[in-house]
Structure formats: structure tokens, C-alpha cells
Amino acid sequence: MPQRSLRDWLYETANGGERFLHGRSASVALADLIDGSSLGGDLAALDGACVLVLTRDQLTAALALIELDGVARRMILCPADFAREHLPVVIAKASVDAIVSDEDAPDLRALNVPLHVTCTPAIAPDAATQPGRRPTEWILFTSGTTGIPKMVVHTLASLTSAIKPRPRTDARLVWATFYDIRRYGGLQILLRAVLDGGSLVLSDAQEPIGEHLARLGRHGATHVTGTPSHWRRVLMSPAAHAMAPGYVRLSGEIADQAVLDNLRALYPQARVVHAFASTEAGVGFEVADAREGVPASTIADPGNGAKLKIDDGSLRISSPGNAARYLGDGDLALAGLDGFVDTNDMMELRDGRYYFVGRRGRIVNVGGLKVHPEEVEAVINRHPAVRISLVHPRRNPITGSVVVADVVLRDDPETSDGPQADKLRGEIVELCRGQLARHKVPAAVRFVPSLTFSASGKLARTYA
């Protein structure tokens, strides 16, 4: 049976009404890609090539990915924040022989790559354009690492294994995501839009949150996804009511009860869910009961074809969505001998429900006792005056480290001194004492106006 490509999906959903990819400064009708091209007539030159997709704009990246699937033998998805000094290593490891970009930068021309193709949102008619039939490898970078990230090999089949195309209805689906579509979480939403017959509103890292929310409202976004940190920024924005989604999804970080409750109150018409996925393991599960944690029954059977287990406290996943391998890293194993990928996300079973407590490599050692910062943050975030918190270690001559917390308040982020601040600090510490072991209770609480986030929308943890 011929390999199915993204262009095949466009052909099959061509009668699904007007569908668009909406960027910050331009929109493109997906139907125009059926008999047109964003690559200036150069698609044939990329047949069988290993292509580095290196664009500044997410819209041009999305167009290139749709056209190249089934044509290129391999595509490397390079996020806008990727450190370009690492490009020579990536090019050598992946055997890149073509670059698709939306800029004519001298530093790109200087790279040892024979073919450079420009991608533009201006779609030109191209009668020779046909869906590809080649099994294309999709290469994604792992996130949350320093130095050169690992490259993970997927196929369209593995990337879409958890996506169940919806029955065609008159309902107008408009997907939106705060993620970069060149990372796993955002790519899932691009693929959902193509397979579901919907439109997609793309984010822009330089766009102020208020303007972005207003744009989501103008385009009528119905399904919106992001990390809990993304959603906390929404909750803090005066423009939060500019949109009215019917589906709100959180993934990429631990979704604590406070953020779930606040989103349900902000968007009472929406179905609020949280999910787990990773670049290596694919999609694990979705939780739709608006409660933090995961029912033990979901771990036993997530209902999406995946197999889950908790081994040595860590969540492990075996599914059709697992990546195939790492690219260019020799004998580095992606999965264990049993076929399960170790996510390194630690979980604990309490009262019939599993709770994420943090990452294996992010543990704070307090006098020989382990503290997962995310577990402490989840408790702090339950205080009604708290919007978000970041827990991190501080050196201590006796215990080695102690736990300290930086906290952004809901209504007065500038508060730092005075009786009211002291009262809030005391309440937060007492809340932690009532729900955490003694060594996990913050030794200090500092009120800050804001926290720093990574390019992937997660809290920046420079200590990890």
C-alpha cells in the first residue's frame, strides 16, 4: 500500500470548507497547497533530499513540512530558538544536503550545504505538484537540555498514531497552540489540524500575550493547547476573555489543581483536559476529569493503544507513537529491551491516583533526603493568592541545600515587604507544613514580579 503523505490528507479533506494556517502577519488557505507551492517551484529538486527546515516564521515552516512530507527522505525541524553555532554538527550528523529557509542570511549560505530553497507564504500555482510517496523521516530535537540536543527520529505514522480523525460535521474546528510547531507538542497540533479538517492559528514568540489572545479571538479558536505555564500567562492577562475556546488542553509540565480550577472558572464553556507526551515516547494519555494526577485505571489502560507502566517510580511508555531511534548518537538506546521508553518523569500512587512529583534529574538533596521541586510548587500554587511559583535549592553549610520558593502573587506581584507580605509568607509555609514532609517545606519564600520561561513555554530551571 502506498505511503500516505500530508498532501494526501489535504486532497481527502478538500471539501471540508475553508481551512487556513493563520500566522501573525499572513494567512494561507490550505486548499492552495493542493495545486500550488510555497517553495518557488523547487519541490522537485528536494526529492529524496535530507532537508533542514530552518525558518524564522512558523507559518513558512508549516507550509514546508506539508509539502516536503513524502518527498524528502528526511526533514530536520529546527525551532527558531535553536543555537545556530550547533548547525555544523547537526548538518554532519544528519547528512543534510538542502536547507529550506524564509531568509537569505549570509551565515546560512556559508554552511557546507549544496542546495538552498526559499519558502514563502505567497503560494504560487504549480500544476506539477503531486502528493509524495516516499516514507519521510521527521527529525525533532529534544527539549530541556544544554549543549547540542539529541535528534529523535519519527515517521508520520508514529507522530499521528494517537490522532483519531473526527467525523466530518458542520462544526468549524480552529486549533491554536502556544507551542512552536517544530517541537513535539506543537507539531501534534499542526497534524491534528490537517487530519481533522480544521484551521490552525500559529503563535509568534515576539507577540505580546494580549495581542496573541486577541488574534485567537478574531480567528474563533475553538481548541487551544499549551503548557501550564502558558496558561498561567493567559490567566494573568487582561485579554484572557478575548477568546472563548470550547477545548483547553495542558501538557508539557505538571498540571496542578489550581491552574485546572482557574481555567474552568475562566472558560466555563470549555472542556479542560491535561495530557502527557514526550518527544521520545509520544502521547501517553489524556485526563479529562478536571483533577490533577492520573487515575490508576488510565495507567492500566489509557485507551489509545499505548502501554504504560510505573517502574522504579518512573513512567514508561510503549506505543506506536514511540520514536524509532536517536539519529547520529551511535549505540544510545531510546527504549529498553522491553520496548518501553523511560520518560524520567516520576510518579507516586496515592488513593487510587498517580501524581507527578517531578523529573528524575531535577531532585534537590536536603541533608540526604530527596525533594522534587514540582511537588512543592503544586502545594504552593494552591494558595488562593498565588499565581505561580518556582522552587529551587539554595546552598546550606549544614544540609548541603535547602528549599526556597520564588512566588508570583495573583493580585499584587510587586508585594515584597510589610505586614501583609509577612502574613502571606507565613500562610504559604503553613500550607506546605500541612501537606509536605518537613525537609520539603521552603526555608524561604520570596515574592517576585515574574518568572522566566524557556522558549518551549516551560518554567526555566537554571539549577537543573
pLDDT in tens, 92-121: 999 999 999 998 877 887 888 999 999 999
Predicted pLDDT at 1: 38
| Euclidean distance between CA atoms 314 and 346, whole angstroms | 4
| Euclidean distance between CA atoms 305 and 162, whole angstroms | 8
Residue 146: phi and psi, rounded to 5, are -100, 160
Residues near 294 by beta carbon (within 8 Å), at least 6 away in sequence: 276, 285, 287, 347, 353, 354, 355, 356
Residues near 69 by beta carbon (within 8 Å), at least 6 away in sequence: 5, 6, 7, 75, 132, 136, 138, 156
Between 274 and 393, residue with greater pLDDT? 274
Predicted pLDDT at 103: 87
Model confidence pLDDT, tens digit, residues 391-445: 998 888 777 788 999 999 987 645 556 788 899 999 999 999 999 999 999 999 9
Helix (H, G, I), strand (E, B) or coil at 312: coil
Predicted pLDDT at 417: 66
Residues near 341 by beta carbon (within 8 Å), at least 6 away in sequence: 278, 280, 281, 316, 317, 318, 322, 323, 334, 335
- Quote the cell numbers at residue 145: 537540555
Helix (H, G, I), strand (E, B) or coil at 299: helix
Query: What contacts 24+ positions apart, CB below 8 Å, involve 328-333?
Result: 328/93, 328/94, 328/151, 329/150, 329/151, 332/150
Is it the case that residue 301 has pLDDT exceeding 60? yes
| Euclidean distance between CA atoms 141 and 139, whole angstroms | 7
Predicted pLDDT at 440: 93
> In one letter, which amino acid is 127?
A
392 touches 443 (CB < 8 A): no
| Euclidean distance between CA atoms 224 and 271, whole angstroms | 11
Model confidence pLDDT, tens digit, residues 9-57: 888 776 656 899 999 999 999 989 888 999 988 999 999 999 999 999 9
